[in-house]
Amino acid sequence: MEAGGLEWLLVPMQRLVSWGAAGAMVFGGVVPYIPQYRDIRRTQNAEGFSTYVCLVLLVANILRILFWFGRRFESPLLWQSIIMIITMLLMLKLCTEVRVSNELNIKRRSFAAADSKDEEIKAPPKRSYLDFDLNYFWHWSKFTDYVQCVLTFTGVTGYVTYLWLDSTLFVETLGFLAVFTEAMLGVPQLYRNYQNKSTEGMSVKMVLMWTSGDTFKTVYFILNQAPFQFSICGLLQVFVDIAILLQVYLYSYYPQKPVSHTAHPASTKAL
């Protein structure tokens, strides 16, 4: 009777823990960006946050969703990707609005071809249909340009995936690219901190949450026997997070010479 009573108690507890872990996987990735979002909104300054972080996560999660069509993994990981894409678009919208409102140079930089209204704000001459000038890529003046870019990338990669979905090699490569791209999440922020010789403007809470979340996620991958690409790249992601935390310590206790703003005009900053 005692064993039966314990089993009656343990089964619901195991289910509760399982549901809690799944919920943490779906929404846990979003939590680190809440303090960063609030800091940017409060200070109206997005200089310390690299929006290339948003680019990396958008690419990684779009590829992960496409990977799901070739190799069905757990639903929480799929929902995590959908929630993360929405979150990154919200971050991009805020950062773009703040940067444009603070930027003295009002020349429009766009993903799509310029329209007639651009002449009114003294935009540069019309380019080809898509503006892939590396100096201005992912540094556009309107949120809609980022949306167009994301939709174009999704459409092209989705079509290619549809054509090669029956190829095991392609599907496994797609899965590796998805998680490897996500593993590089912290690299833009790492490089931006190095350029600025400072972590000012970057939310340390965000990085701490990255580290704890990535550690939890990697353990989750291993325990639930997720595709091996997930576990390997999860470990790499934890190492990058630790490197950023080391920058926080280094630049706080051993301040570096600040970078001259004249060497980095607003139009070429990696926002």
pLDDT tens per residue across span 12-62:
766 676 677 667 677 777 888 888 899 899 988 888 788 888 998 999 999
Render the chain in DSSP notation, one character per residue: -HHHHHHHHHHHHHHHHHHHHHHHHHHHTTTTHHHHHHHHHHHT--TTS-THHHHHHHHHHHHHHHHHHHS---HHHHHHHHHHHHHHHHHHHHHHHHHHHH-S------SSPP-GGGGGGTPPPP-SSS---TTTTT--SSHHHHHHHHHHHHHHHHHHHHHHTT-HHHHHHHHHHHHHHHHTTTHHHHHHHHHHTS-TTS-HHHHHHHHHHHHHHHHHHHHTT--HHHHHHHHHHHHHHHHHHHHHHHHHHSPPPPPPGGGS-GGGS--
User: Is the pLDDT assigned to residue 8 strictly greater than 70?
Assistant: no
Contact 27, 83 (CB under 8 A): yes
Residue 184 in any domain: the answer is yes
Predicted confidence at residue 257, as pLDDT, reads: 59
Instruction: Select the more confidently predicted residue: 17 or 268.
Output: 17
User: Is the pLDDT assigned to residue 124 strictly greater than 60?
Assistant: no
Predicted confidence at residue 122, as pLDDT, reads: 44
Domain carrying residue 39? 9-108+140-253
Residue 218 in any domain: the answer is yes
* pLDDT band (50, 70, 90) for residue 112: low
Residue 227 in any domain: the answer is yes
Share of the chain above pLDDT 70, in %: 75
Residue 215 in any domain: the answer is yes
- CA–CA dist 110, 144 (Å, integer): 9
Q: Mean pLDDT lowest for which of 46-60, 115-129, 214-228, 249-263? A: 115-129
User: Is the pLDDT assigned to residue 262 strictly greater than 50?
Assistant: no
Q: Mean pLDDT lowest for which of 14-18, 49-53, 96-100, 188-192? A: 14-18
Residue 128 in any domain: the answer is no
User: Is the pLDDT assigned to residue 164 strictly greater than 80?
Assistant: yes
User: Is the pLDDT assigned to residue 170 strictly greater than 90?
Assistant: yes
Measuring CA to CA, which residue among 143, 142, 102, 139 is closest to residue 267?
A: 139
Predicted confidence at residue 108, as pLDDT, reads: 61
Residue 17 in any domain: the answer is yes
- CA–CA dist 33, 92 (Å, integer): 12
Share of the chain above pLDDT 90, in %: 24
Mean pLDDT computed over every residue of the chain: 78
Report how many domains make up the chain.
1
Which range of 4-8, 15-19, 212-216 scores highest in mean pLDDT? It is: 212-216
Supply the pTM of this predicted model.
0.69
74: which 2 tokens?
Answer: 């757990």
Q: What burial letters (b/e) apply to 11-46, b meaning 16+ CB within 10 Å?
A: eeeeeeeeeebbebbbebbbbbbeebbebbeeeeeb
Residue 101 in any domain: the answer is yes
Residue 271 in any domain: the answer is no
Sequence-distant (≥ 6) Cβ neighbours of residue 95 within 8 angstroms: 40, 46, 49, 51, 54, 271
Predicted confidence at residue 143, as pLDDT, reads: 92
User: Is the pLDDT assigned to residue 128 strictly greater than 50?
Assistant: no
User: Is the pLDDT assigned to residue 115 strictly greater than 60?
Assistant: no
Instruction: Select the more confidently predicted residue: 202 or 4.
Output: 202
**What region, left, alpha or beta, does residue 17 occupy, with left being phi > 0 and alpha being psi -120 to 50 degrees?**
alpha
